[in-house]
Amino acid sequence: MARKKEILMAGAKYLTTVNDQIELDILQSLLASFEIPIFVRDALSGSFIRILMGGSVFDTDIFVKEDDYQTAFDAIQGNYENL
């Protein structure tokens, strides 16, 4: 049985969780440099807070397309020689 974090949409795979908007922005910029789009899912009422306030104080799960997972994982781990 798959964990809840691993279920977002067909073709997406859980990558990591960030704790605040700054971490999210850094991760999004890093992955954008490799042309990897991300999908986000906020914990609790974070999605509502993000819409209302422009950011969330709750944890945010980051997902990427399954095809981009290994490149994204290597990028956030700093394994640039594999890219």
**pTM for this entry:** 0.75
Is residue 1 over pLDDT 50?
Answer: no
Domain ranges for the chain, please list them.
4-82
CB of 47 within 8 A of CB of 38? no
Note the pLDDT of residue 5: 55
Residue 50 has which token pair?
């993000």
More confident residue, 2 or 22: 22
Residue 38 has which token pair?
């991300």
For the domain with range 4-82, which CATH number is right: 3.90.1150.10, 3.20.20.150, 3.30.70.790, 1.20.210.10?
3.30.70.790
pLDDT digits (tens, 9 = 90+) for 26-52: 999 999 999 999 988 877 654 555 555
Angle between helices 21-32 and 69-77 (to 10 degrees): 120
Phi/psi of residue 12, nearest 5 degrees: -110, 145
